[in-house]
């Protein structure tokens, strides 16, 4: 009987990536220890390998292994060739001949990894030098500033002597060369000069021609300096790069300029109360750091500051009463730690100064939630009691409105014995203000929510009052005459507002339209000034802020916390009246609180914030 034909194409039926080895199941004698077939017959049994055993690379070569017939006859030429290949692979010379090529291939394949590690090490060294010795790094790499970034010839050529004392407060203005040209300045760049001891960088605005800079230009300077990153050190910590400063006036002329100042710039890009809330914190910083406080109204769209409020140099004279504000070209928006700086803040740059670093420094770190903000609350309250005060004309308007409201209350409550004049205040914001709560349609608080909040507040505060069934008189402030009418029609009681007053001087202060920031400048200047005075009067009656002895005060205020008017109204009420008996965990007292938010309804943590950043 003829011998079966050997299987010659087994490899084509086996996947290239298969991990399985085919073991022949036909018994054979294992006479040739070097034969591939004899090894396959042993399956998974242990194999005694001699010094001349199977070469490992050939053994793992599945293409060679599977391309040979599994049951090749010893009489075929293929069988002999297989034995020959195995025999030739045993020769020591053949194995040694492949080693140099393999070694070169091994080195070449790992060369990118070695180069990557080396480059990473160099970059790490450069990063460390950039933080610890930036000046030395410039010398090592031979770097030079482009012409566009070099200090102007006016500043570079001046014999400027910048002291290396890095104290921020209480030091005299450094002696400089001649005063810089106030019409030749540029974007913020730093002088790369390194002084012995401490590094001092010279700030310049050489490409600007008008001073003080416009609000958005100060914003640009702060953004360029921070390069998208905020400092994570202490609030007043000087940068590790060294102190920064602009060129100051010549002190040899015995100038009357204040040594160190903080200026709040009214930029017209935020509402009145938004500016006042930020200004209150800035004034507090000036008191704390022993600096003179100023208000700049160059770009304000509501007239002069003194059209509405008293001069802050009188209400908060600072450490050098009567000193003059710095030249406008010396105002610096960033950094706040500039040496002997004349720091200027506006609503646009406030995010660089009143963000996390400010909170970390000025919050109470040992308190919880609302209690953490009490120091900021008290700082703002002190500013509104001593620094931000209405001028005589606006105080007369406030007294006139309070007098008419008191008369109105007495008329409504006439015939009710032992009833003192009492009122609740309501603020309804419309215009471009969106609620924090996304559940409201069009992000506007419905009138029904104001009505419900008012009823619940009155009932809660009047539970022990014999006249608890009597609806109170409401002082209603709003930027919308439509909202005022809708609320008044649905309220089962009496309302009083600037829209309803019979006094012509007060009635003309009512809001001319729903407040939209971008459209406010479309009104005539006189209209804007009157609307601003109206807001001052509304804020006074809503919150009791700027109250005088014997004044009637609101029992409570119902408002939306998304409005800064609502935030400031809490300050006017005072901590205890606004939030009640706040517990140790910072939870507001819902039973005795008089500041009622109908926007987030206490769902946010904390429930109140002292200001808003733009």
pLDDT tens per residue across span 562-583: 999 999 999 999 999 999 999 9
| pLDDT greater than 70 at residue 320 | yes
Q: Are residues 432 and 489 in the same domain?
A: yes
Range(s) of the domain holding residue 478: 392-597
pLDDT greater at residue 146 or residue 244: 244
pLDDT class of 280 with cuts at 50, 70, 90: very high
pLDDT greater at residue 497 or residue 181: 497
Tokens of 593: 């609180």
Q: Are residues 315 and 215 in the same domain?
A: yes
Q: What is the average per-residue pLDDT within 171-196?
A: 32
Measured in whole angstroms, the distance separating CA 419 from the mean position of its chain's CA atoms is 50
Strand partners for 491: none
Residues 6 or more apart whose Cβ sits within 8 Å of residue 161: 174, 175, 176, 177
| pLDDT greater than 50 at residue 168 | no
Tokens of 18: 């298969």
What DSSP string describes 443-509?
G---HHHHHHHHHHHHHHHTTT-TTTTSPPEEEEEES-HHHHHHHHHHSSS-EE-TTT-S-HHHHTT
User: Would residue 146 count as lying in a domain?
Assistant: no
The pLDDT score that the predictor gives to residue 463 is 66
User: Would residue 14 count as lying in a domain?
Assistant: no
Torsion angle, alpha carbons of 531, 534, 538, 541, to 10: 170
Residue ending a domain, choose from 347, 362, 377:
362
Structure confidence by residue, pLDDT tens digits, 129-150:
766 665 555 555 554 444 433 3
Domain count, the chain: 2
Tokens of 273: 């109360």
pLDDT greater at residue 9 or residue 579: 579
* 525-543 and 564-573 helices, crossing angle to 10°: 40
pLDDT greater at residue 520 or residue 240: 520
Residues 6 or more apart whose Cβ sits within 8 Å of residue 509: 397, 498, 530, 531, 533, 534, 537
User: Would residue 45 count as lying in a domain?
Assistant: no
Measured in whole angstroms, the distance separating CA 96 from the mean position of its chain's CA atoms is 67
pLDDT greater at residue 76 or residue 276: 276
Structure confidence by residue, pLDDT tens digits, 390-421:
999 999 999 999 999 999 998 887 755 556 67
Task: Tell me how far CA of residue 535 lies from CA of 5, 242, 394, 542, 552, in angstroms.
Answer: 106, 44, 10, 10, 19
Q: Is the CB of residue 449 less than 8 Å from the CB of residue 439? A: no
The pLDDT score that the predictor gives to residue 453 is 97
Q: Are residues 216 and 322 in the same domain?
A: yes
Q: Are residues 262 and 397 in the same domain?
A: no
Q: Are residues 460 and 546 in the same domain?
A: yes
Q: Are residues 345 and 405 in the same domain?
A: no
Q: Are residues 309 and 454 in the same domain?
A: no
User: Would residue 518 count as lying in a domain?
Assistant: yes
Tokens 């039973």 label which residue? 591
- Give the C-alpha separation, 506 to 498, whole Å: 6
The pLDDT score that the predictor gives to residue 312 is 98
Strand partners for 41: none
pLDDT class of 191 with cuts at 50, 70, 90: very low
pLDDT class of 203 with cuts at 50, 70, 90: confident
Q: What percent of the chain is predicted at pLDDT more than 90?
A: 52
Its pTM surpasses 0.85 = no
Q: Are residues 427 and 281 in the same domain?
A: no
Q: What is the average per-residue pLDDT within 315-322?
A: 96
Beta strands 495-496 and 473-478 are parallel
- CATH number for position 579: 3.40.50
Q: Are residues 404 and 355 in the same domain?
A: no
Q: Are residues 481 and 589 in the same domain?
A: yes
- Give the C-alpha separation, 559 to 425, whole Å: 9
Structure confidence by residue, pLDDT tens digits, 328-368:
999 999 888 766 679 999 999 999 999 988 999 999 999 99
Nearest to 300 by CA among 275, 281, 278: 275
Structure confidence by residue, pLDDT tens digits, 451-474:
999 999 999 988 645 455 566 799
pLDDT greater at residue 98 or residue 78: 98
The pLDDT score that the predictor gives to residue 183 is 32
User: Would residue 155 count as lying in a domain?
Assistant: no
User: Would residue 356 count as lying in a domain?
Assistant: yes
- Give the C-alpha separation, 381 to 68, whole Å: 95
User: Would residue 162 count as lying in a domain?
Assistant: no
User: Would residue 532 count as lying in a domain?
Assistant: yes
Q: Are residues 453 and 583 in the same domain?
A: yes
Q: Are residues 328 and 410 in the same domain?
A: no
Between CA 55 and CA 61, with CA 57 as vertex, the angle to 5 degrees is 115
CB burial of 498-507 (b: ≥16 within 10 Å; e: otherwise) equals: bbbbeeeebe
Phi, psi of 343 (to 5 degrees): -85, 135
């Amino acid at each position: 009987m003829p011998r079966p034909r050997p299987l010659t194409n087994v490899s084509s039926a086996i996947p290239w990536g298969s991990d399985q080895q085919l073991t022949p199941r036909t018994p054979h004698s294992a006479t040739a220890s070097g034969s591939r077939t004899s090894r396959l017959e042993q399956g998974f049994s242990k194999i005694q390998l001699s010094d001349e055993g199977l070469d490992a690379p050939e053994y793992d070569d599945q293409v060679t292994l599977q391309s040979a017939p599994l049951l090749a006859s010893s009489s075929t030429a293929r069988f002999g060739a297989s034995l020959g290949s195995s025999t030739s692979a045993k020769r020591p010379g053949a194995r040694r001949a492949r080693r140099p090529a393999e070694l070169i291939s091994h080195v070449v394949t790992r060369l990118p990894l070695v180069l990557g590690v080396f480059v990473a090490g160099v970059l790490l060294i450069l990063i460390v030098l950039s933080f610890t010795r930036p000046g030395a790094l410039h010398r090592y790499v031979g770097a030079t500033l482009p012409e566009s970034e070099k200090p102007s010839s006016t500043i570079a050529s001046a014999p400027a002597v910048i002291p290396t004392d890095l104290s921020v407060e209480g030091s005299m203005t450094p002696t400089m060369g001649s005063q810089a040209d106030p019409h030749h300045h540029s974007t913020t760049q730093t002088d790369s000069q390194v002084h012995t001891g401490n590094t001092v960088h010279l700030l310049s605005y050489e490409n600007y021609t008008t001073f003080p800079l416009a609000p958005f230009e100060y914003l640009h300077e702060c953004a360029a300096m921070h390069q998208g990153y905020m400092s994570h050190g202490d609030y007043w910590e000087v940068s590790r790069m060294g102190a920064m400063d602009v060129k100051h006036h010549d002190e040899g002329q015995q100038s009357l300029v204040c040594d160190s100042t903080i200026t709040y710039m009214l930029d017209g890009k935020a509402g009145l109360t938004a500016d006042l809330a930020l200004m209150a914190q800035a004034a507090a910083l000036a008191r704390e750091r022993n600096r003179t406080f100023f208000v700049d109204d160059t770009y304000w769209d509501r007239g002069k500051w003194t059209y509405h409020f008293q001069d802050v140099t009188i209400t908060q004279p600072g450490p050098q009463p009567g000193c003059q504000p710095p030249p406008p070209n010396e105002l610096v928006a960033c950094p706040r730690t500039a040496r002997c700086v004349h720091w200027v803040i506006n609503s646009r740059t406030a995010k660089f100064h009143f963000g996390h670093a400010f909170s970390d420094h000025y919050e109470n770190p040992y308190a919880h939630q609302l209690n953490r903000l009490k120091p900021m609350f008290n700082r703002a309250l002190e500013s509104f009691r001593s620094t931000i005060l209405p001028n005589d004309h606006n105080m007369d308007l406030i007294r006139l409105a309070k007098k008419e409201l008191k008369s109105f209350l007495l008329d409504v409550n006439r015939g009710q014995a032992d009833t003192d004049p009492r009122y609740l205040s309501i603020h309804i914001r419309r215009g471009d203000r969106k609620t924090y709560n996304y559940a409201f349609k069009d992000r506007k608080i419905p009138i029904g929510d104001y009505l419900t909040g008012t009823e619940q507040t009155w009932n809660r505060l009047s539970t022990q009052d014999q006249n608890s069934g009597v609806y109170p008189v409401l002082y209603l402030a709003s930027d919308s005459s439509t909202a005022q009418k809708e609320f008044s029609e649905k309220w089962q009681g009496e309302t009083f507002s600037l829209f309803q007053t019979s006094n012509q001087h007060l009635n003309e202060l009512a809001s001319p339209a729903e407040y939209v920031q971008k459209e406010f400048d479309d009104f005539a200047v006189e209209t804007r000034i009157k609307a601003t005075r109206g807001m001052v009067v509304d804020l006074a009656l809503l919150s009791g802020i700027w109250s005088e002895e014997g004044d009637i005060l609101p029992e409570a205020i119902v408002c939306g916390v998304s409005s800064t008017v609502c935030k400031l109204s809490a300050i006017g009420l005072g901590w205890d009246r606004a939030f009640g008996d706040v517990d140790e965990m910072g939870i507001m007292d819902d039973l005795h609180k008089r500041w009622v938010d109908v926007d987030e309804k206490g769902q946010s943590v904390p429930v109140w914030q002292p200001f808003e950043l733009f």
